Amino acid sequence: MSDAKSRSHKAQKVIDRMGQKLSRQIAGSMIACVHCGMCIDSCHYVLANPGDPTYAPPYKADKIRKLFKKHFDWTGRVAPWWVKAGSVYTDEDLQELKDVVFGMCTNCRRCSLNCPMGVDFATFNRMARGLLVSVGVMPEGVAVVSKDQWETGNQMGVLKEDYLETIEWMEEEMRDELEDPDAKIPIDNPDCEVIYSINPREVKYDPRTIADAAKVFHAAGESWTMPSEGWDMTNFGLFSGDDDLGASVAKRLYEKVIELRGKRLVISECGHGLRSTQCEAPNWAKFDVPFEMESSVFTMLRYIKEGRIKVDKSRNPKPVTYHDSCNLARSCGVTEEPRELLHLVCEDFREMYPNRAENYCCTGGGGAMSMSEYTPRRLKSGVVKANQLKDTGAEVVVTSCHNCVDGLTDVIRHYELNMEVTQLVNLVANALVIEEKVAVPVERVPEVAVADLPLAGRRLVVADDEPDQVEFLAAVLEDNGATVFRAGTGDEALELVRREKPDLLTLDLSMPGRDVGEVFEMLRTELAFEDLKVCVITGRPELRRLIYDRSVRRPEGYLDKPVSEESLILNVRKILELAHEHETVG
Amino acid sequence: MSNLLHFSEHTLQEIALTFMALVYVTRITWFLRRFKAGTERQAPSGSPQTTKAKGVLYSWANVAMPWAMESTRSRPFMYVQFVVFHLGVTAAIALSFVIPYGAELLDSQLVVLLFQVIIGAACAVGVVRMIRRVSNPYIRAISSPDDYFSVALLTVWFFFAVLAAPNSTAMGEWHLLTYFLLTAFFLVYVPFSKISHYLYYPFTRYYFGKSMGYRGVYPLRGG
């Protein structure tokens, strides 16, 4: 039997498509490695797993390189054993390759920068991901997120109405805070200087960053707008290796900017978003972008330098450190501007070592946060980052990347570091000097009466099978005035909802006993629960289909674990306040 | 000089060199024709201090800047080994031309000593590298037969180059003969082994540097 005939259909496709994907840069990287081992301990997985050579970058690279040698190079064809050439034959072989390219590397590019030969492992690891994705072999989380981005145009499946409602809500918050009825978040205004694009994570978990950016634009007197569609600047194509997805997502954004005749696209703080939108996607989409693009870090820095906004660094007195995102530092060269900005808006900045292009990955890069099956491995590799963070002595770690926010939050919680994570936009907004506000002296902080707490009078059921998680969620909600009932299984949740008639249920997707999807459907179909709001909180995004594939009304909210206090409260408030507004209007 | 040694020093080397050149030309032609270089449509980004040209130069110069990469900065001994080993290769190749075409150079004891010191040091590095490749579990896990054979071949070749450097037949011709036979084998084997990495090095570094320079990463900033 010939070599090709003994190969599964998928494996054959991978080999065939590899031939089309090999650029000169990638082929050079395939041939040039001399197995010198200089890159080995540049990888955080290696450092966290001493003695295990399977994490070594050249070892992982050889899992892909062997295919090149076997099918495209000379010596490998003639004497494969001599150069360790090999092939993939079965679907199990592809699964093994999947485990390496998705589960043992975050494509952080640290090894590439440390290779004396200029071998860019991260680039051909992405190629291998793309080949596997093209035959449907990928972690389930990657499939779910890719599907969302193909279908809805954003990687978290945020519906247009949710996006617009959140912006409206943030506009009201900003207006109240600034006591300025003219403060607005414009939508779809044509001919603006700035079109501001964001990460869907901001809508779902961190809407405060939208309001903070809006404050900065408002204070600078900028002519700006946000698009109603094509607003997602993230691009899962970078992580999955799917150039078609990458091209499609970016084109939606580019075409919207062109439609609105925007002069400049400003990309909110997101490492992979900036890299994809600014650097990679014009190539994927074969699209010549006719407008300027920049990270919001550059925009904010320019506003300060030009005197368009004033900042008072004493408003950010806590010691802060800066985590360089891999995509920003090693693929976009953005290292000095964030530091310049930090020096302007913070009193006590402490450098992290190593830093800039030599910084270690947050552990959440390359889409790792969506691959829950690799979470234990990822958290173990986080010890490198945890030690770096601890050594700074800072209380706050600042990063210009949403992925890093989640990755760092996870590391900080896992290694109990007692630090908080924030972004530059939050610090700049906090340091903003707005004349009217400065004129009002604040003499004392009034005590908050229980009735003034944001969730006062609200009844909530928290359903989760992890006792620590239940206690955490319940404590945060109770501290904000809610009355909370605790459930550990789907049946208990059902019983509590029937008995206590809460306003909102937080629902974990993986609990023992009755299937959570079934519980959800029962709640949605029983007339008595028509007004019940549901917020899914899960660490396993691949289980979303248990809920979302059902032909009943979707949950009002969705949060990925780990959940921060702020995002929990913001999201619960958003769900309840929007529900209240709709009831009032109705 | 025996006919065999004369043949080994001249005709055999010329055949081997021609073969190597032909294979290299074929190989580079295959590399450039089969694999298309990616294009970059996006506007240059990052600091105005970084450009494609600066990125390429920085990338090429990287080999001479051990401070620029953490991997070389943190292992000065490895970097010294790298320098000595490659100087040894250069000297051993040069010797294979000096003996047949410029033997009078070796009348100087100083020149002979210089060849022997450089190539001898490279031979010692070869031994160290072989020990590392066998004993270090990480390096062992990534090594192929070609990796072991290439290091062993070069180390043995260095050894005979040290013996051949005085170009003396007072003790017989066997050491010169072995050196030239090994040189011929080396020239024929190299294009099919990892030793040919130097052929691709300018390309990998060029494209990596070009992209990194265009996107504002190279030359590295700050720190």
pLDDT at A224: 98
Asked if the domains A9-138 and A450-585 are classified in one and the same CATH topology, the answer is: no
Q: Which residues of A17-33 are buried (b: 16+ CB within 10 A; e: fewer)?
A: ebeebbbbbbbbbbbbb
The average confidence (pLDDT) of chain A is 92
Residue B147 lies in a domain: yes
Residue of B nearest to A274 (CA): B45
Give the CA dihedral A532, A538, A541, A542, nearest 10 degrees: -90
- Min Cα separation A375/chain B (Å): 24
C-beta separation of A428 from A300 below 8 A: yes
Longest dimension (CA), chain A: 86
pLDDT at A232 over 60: yes
Residue B24 lies in a domain: no
pLDDT at A443: 53
- Min Cα separation A332/chain B (Å): 5
Lowest-confidence segment of A422-431, A548-557, B146-155 by average pLDDT: A548-557
Top residue of A279, A286, A331 to mutate, by most chain B CBs within 10 Å, is A279
B14 touches chain A (CB under 8 A): no
The average confidence (pLDDT) of chain B is 96
* Phi-psi map region of A331: left, alpha, beta (phi>0 left; psi -120 to 50 alpha): alpha
Reported confidence tier of residue A440, pLDDT bands at 50, 70, 90: very low
A486: helix, coil or strand?
strand
Beta-carbon separation of B222 and A335 below 8 A: yes
pLDDT at A442 over 60: no
Beta-carbon separation of A59 and B142 below 8 A: yes
What residue type is assigned to position A510 of the chain? Answer: S
Lowest-confidence segment of A148-162, A443-457, B156-170, B176-190 by average pLDDT: A443-457
C-beta separation of B13 from B176 below 8 A: no
Out of A28, A330, A356, the one facing B223 most closely (by C-beta) is A356
Beta-carbon separation of B223 and A336 below 8 A: no
DSSP string, A295-363: EHHHHHHHHHHTTSS-B-GGG--SEEEEEPPHHHHHHS---HHHHHHHHHH-SEEE--SS-GGGPPP-S
Residue of B nearest to A287 (CA): B41
Beta-carbon separation of B215 and A28 below 8 A: no
What is the Cα–Cα distance from B68 to A40, expressed in whole angstroms? 17
Nearest CA-CA partner of A466 in A363, A539, A415: A539
pLDDT at A455 over 60: yes
Residue of B nearest to A283 (CA): B41
Chain center to CA of B1? 30
| Structural domain harbouring B82 | 3-15+67-196
Q: Which of residues 128-147 of B touch A (CB under 8 A)?
A: 136-147
Out of A82, A115, A283, the one facing B42 most closely (by C-beta) is A283
Beta-carbon separation of B204 and A287 below 8 A: no
Report the CATH number that the domain containing residue B119 is assigned in CATH: 1.20.950.20
**Percent of chain A having pLDDT more than 70?**
95
Q: What are phi and psi of A213, to 5 degrees?
A: -65, -40
Top residue of B154, B217, B218, B220 to mutate, by most chain A CBs within 10 Å, is B217
Q: Are strands A319-323 and A348-350 parallel, antiparallel or unpaired?
A: parallel
What residue type is assigned to position A228 of the chain? Answer: S
Residue B222 lies in a domain: no
Beta-carbon separation of B208 and A286 below 8 A: no
C-beta separation of A301 from A340 below 8 A: yes
C-beta separation of A135 from A14 below 8 A: yes
pLDDT at B87: 98
Out of B37, B205, B222, the one facing A356 most closely (by C-beta) is B222
Return the higher-pLDDT residue of B87 and A157.
Answer: B87
Asked if the A313-435 domain carries CATH number 3.30.70, the reply is no
CA-CA distances (angstroms) from residue A452 to A278, A446, A467, A484, A586?
A: 45, 11, 29, 17, 25
What is the Cα–Cα distance from A99 to A79, expressed in whole angstroms? 27
What is the Cα–Cα distance from A93 to A41, expressed in whole angstroms? 27
Residue of B nearest to A277 (CA): B42
Top residue of B26, B52, B142, B201 to mutate, by most chain A CBs within 10 Å, is B142
Beta-carbon separation of A34 and B197 below 8 A: yes
Beta-carbon separation of B215 and A116 below 8 A: no
Out of A33, A40, A357, the one facing B138 most closely (by C-beta) is A40
B46 touches chain A (CB under 8 A): yes
Out of A23, A56, A280, the one facing B142 most closely (by C-beta) is A56
What residue type is assigned to position A465 of the chain? Answer: D
> Residue A319: is it exposed, middle or buried by C-beta count within 10 angstroms (0-12/13-18/19+)?
middle
Out of B32, B34, B63, the one facing A116 most closely (by C-beta) is B63
- Min Cα separation B204/chain A (Å): 5
Q: What is the CATH code for A9-138? A: 1.10.1060
Chain A residues touching residue B80 (CB < 8 angstroms): none
Mean pLDDT to the nearest integer, A226-245: 97
Out of B197, B215, B221, the one facing A279 most closely (by C-beta) is B215
What is the Cα–Cα distance from A548 to A460, expressed in whole angstroms? 22
Beta-carbon separation of B37 and A24 below 8 A: yes
Please give the radius of gyration of chain A, using alpha carbons only, rounded to the nearest integer: 25
- Give domain limits for chain A: 9-138, 149-305, 313-435, 450-585
Mean pLDDT to the nearest integer, B95-123: 98
pLDDT tens sequence across A368-379: 999 999 999 999
Beta-carbon separation of B141 and A35 below 8 A: no
Nearest CA-CA partner of B192 in B156, B155, B146: B146
Reported confidence tier of residue A382, pLDDT bands at 50, 70, 90: very high
Q: How many residues does this entry show for chain B?
A: 223
pLDDT tens sequence across A339-360: 999 999 999 999 999 999 999 9
C-beta separation of A213 from A425 below 8 A: yes
What's the CA angle centered on A110, arms A106 and A112, to 5 degrees?
105
Nearest CA-CA partner of A355 in A324, A378, A331: A324
What is the Cα–Cα distance from B70 to A301, expressed in whole angstroms? 30
Mean pLDDT to the nearest integer, A495-499: 87
The sheet that has A348-350: what strands, in order across it?
Answer: A348-350, A319-323, A396-399, A420-422
Beta-carbon separation of A333 and B31 below 8 A: no
pLDDT tens sequence across B56-88: 999 999 999 999 999 999 999 999 999 999 999
C-beta separation of A541 from A375 below 8 A: no
pLDDT at A585 over 60: no
Chain A residues touching residue B62 (CB < 8 angstroms): 116, 118
Mean pLDDT to the nearest integer, A266-276: 97
What is the Cα–Cα distance from A106 to B112, expressed in whole angstroms? 52
Return the higher-pLDDT residue of B170 and A577.
Answer: B170
pLDDT tens sequence across A290-318: 999 999 999 999 999 999 999 999 999 99
Chain B residues touching residue A29 (CB < 8 angstroms): 204
Top residue of A18, A20, A30, A35 to mutate, by most chain B CBs within 10 Å, is A35
Out of B31, B50, B201, the one facing A27 most closely (by C-beta) is B31
Name the DSSP letter for residue B176.
H
Beta-carbon separation of B70 and A37 below 8 A: no
- Which tokens sit at B100? 């047949």
pLDDT at A437: 46
Return the higher-pLDDT residue of B92 and A541.
Answer: B92
Reported confidence tier of residue A546, pLDDT bands at 50, 70, 90: confident
Could you count the other beta carbons within 10 Å of the beta carbon of residue A111?
A: 26
Chain center to CA of A570? 18
Instruction: Tell me the range of A151-165, A453-467, B121-135 where mean pLDDT is highest.
Output: B121-135
CA-CA distances (angstroms) from residue A459 to A504, A522, A584?
A: 7, 20, 19
Chain A residues touching residue B85 (CB < 8 angstroms): none
The sheet that has A264-267: what strands, in order across it?
Answer: A224-225, A194-197, A264-267, A292-295
Beta-carbon separation of B35 and A22 below 8 A: yes
Out of A23, A54, A278, the one facing B45 most closely (by C-beta) is A278
pLDDT at A530: 81
Residue B203 lies in a domain: no
Beta-carbon separation of B200 and A114 below 8 A: no
pLDDT at A438 over 60: no
pLDDT at B82: 97
C-beta separation of A233 from A251 below 8 A: no
- The count of domains in chain B is 1
C-beta separation of A379 from A539 below 8 A: no
CATH architecture entry for A450-585: 3-Layer(aba) Sandwich (3.40)
Residue of B nearest to A352 (CA): B223
What residue type is assigned to position A379 of the chain? Answer: L
B70 touches chain A (CB under 8 A): yes
C-beta separation of A145 from A236 below 8 A: yes
- A-B Cβ pairs (cutoff 8 Å, strict): 180
B40 touches chain A (CB under 8 A): yes
What is the Cα–Cα distance from A154 to B213, expressed in whole angstroms? 31
Q: Which of residues 94-113 of B touch A (CB under 8 A)?
A: none
